[in-house]
């Protein structure tokens, strides 16, 4: 039988609020422990990742001509 535990508290938890996320995406728009502008920051993060995808696509498109660009 598994022994499961649950953490509770007042702090908002997010995978984005981690050292690894900050190292991988240091410029990713993020606000910590504040849900008041959550919908705005979700859109900013999506736009940020789409721009990163397009930059990567432009960099490799000549070496992989059959590779399709990200659907923006």
Question: In the structure, what pLDDT confidence band is assigned to residue 1 with cuts at 50, 70 and 90?
Answer: low
CA neighbours closer than 13 Å in the CB half-sphere of residue 70: 15
pLDDT tens-digit readout, 8-62: 777 666 677 778 888 888 898 988 778 888 899 999 999 999 999 999 999 999 9
Q: Global pTM?
A: 0.67
Burial zone of 16 (CB within 10 Å; 0-12 exposed, 13-18 middle, 19+ buried): middle
Domain ranges of the chain: 19-60
Higher pLDDT, 34 or 6: 34
Q: How many residues does the chain have?
A: 72
pLDDT of amino acid 40 = 93
What pLDDT, on a 0 to 100 scale, did the predictor assign at position 5? 73
Please state the φ and ψ torsions of residue 55, each to the nearest 5 degrees: -60, -45
């Amino acid at each position: 039988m598994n022994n499961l535990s649950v953490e509770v508290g007042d702090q908002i938890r997010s995978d984005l609020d981690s050292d690894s996320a900050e190292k991988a995406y240091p410029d990713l728009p993020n606000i910590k422990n504040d849900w008041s502008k959550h919908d705005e920051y979700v859109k900013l993060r999506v736009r940020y990742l789409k721009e990163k995808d397009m930059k990567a696509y432009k960099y490799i498109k000549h070496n992989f001509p059959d590779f399709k660009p990200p659907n923006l």
